[in-house]
A and B are shown apart, each in its own frame.
Chain A
């Protein structure tokens, strides 16, 4: 089992819809969780991080963490075509592990 797993997609949503991206991780002891966005040919950029169980909101983005079930998700409300990118989940399990990313396309 990989340390961090994501559905590679592609995930397509219409403009204005909610995009839901999921990530599972292997180590119950993990303490910190990160979501990055990566446009094609560019480097990852941090969207948000979450350390505690529950929800964390930042603008149109909400991160949800459930440590008991070992998953972290990212919701993007009112999706825009500019949100079309690959979304990377990263978990600190003694060292940082990234998932392979989920490709999101927002259709105008």
Chain B
């Protein structure tokens, strides 16, 4: 069974630029999550989707971050404009039940 796919794996941008991340969950997993993990910290939930609907986006900085999950499969997370403090690893995870989660390899973002 293929795992969660994410791309790109690394991204370096200047502050105020925009960036987008892509995630393809495990086949059949209805729940998809985006997390931000800053070095030395645990993952912080940004948004949770159930199929193509948003379950929770209370910690998503909506002035600059947006996410969508069209057709209930792939998802994209966008940051526009990026700030220095957005430098982090962005993790996508999926779950068959909304319980145990399986993480992708992550995208390491550096904002200069």
Q: Do A and B come together as binding partners?
A: yes
> Which residues from chain A contact B40 at a C-beta distance below 8 Å?
100
Could you say which of B35, B42, B44, B100 contacts A46, with CB atoms under 8 Å apart?
A: B100
Contact A95 B56 (CB under 8 A): yes
The answer to whether A88 has its CB under 8 Å from any CB of chain B is yes
Encoded as 1 (CB less than 8 Å from any B CB) or 0, chain A from 63 to 103 comes to 00000000000000000000000001010101111111100
Contact A45 B103 (CB under 8 A): yes
The answer to whether A61 has its CB under 8 Å from any CB of chain B is no
The answer to whether A14 has its CB under 8 Å from any CB of chain B is no
Task: Give the number of chain B interface residues (Cβ < 8 Å).
Answer: 22
Across chains A and B, the number of contacting residue pairs, with CB separation under 8 Å, is 46
> Which residues from chain B contact A97 at a C-beta distance below 8 Å?
45
Task: Give the number of chain A interface residues (Cβ < 8 Å).
Answer: 20
CA distance A94 to B48 in the complex (A): 11
The answer to whether A16 has its CB under 8 Å from any CB of chain B is no
Interface residues in chain A, defined as those with a beta carbon under 8 Å from any beta carbon in chain B: 4, 32, 34, 42-46, 49, 88, 90, 92, 94-101
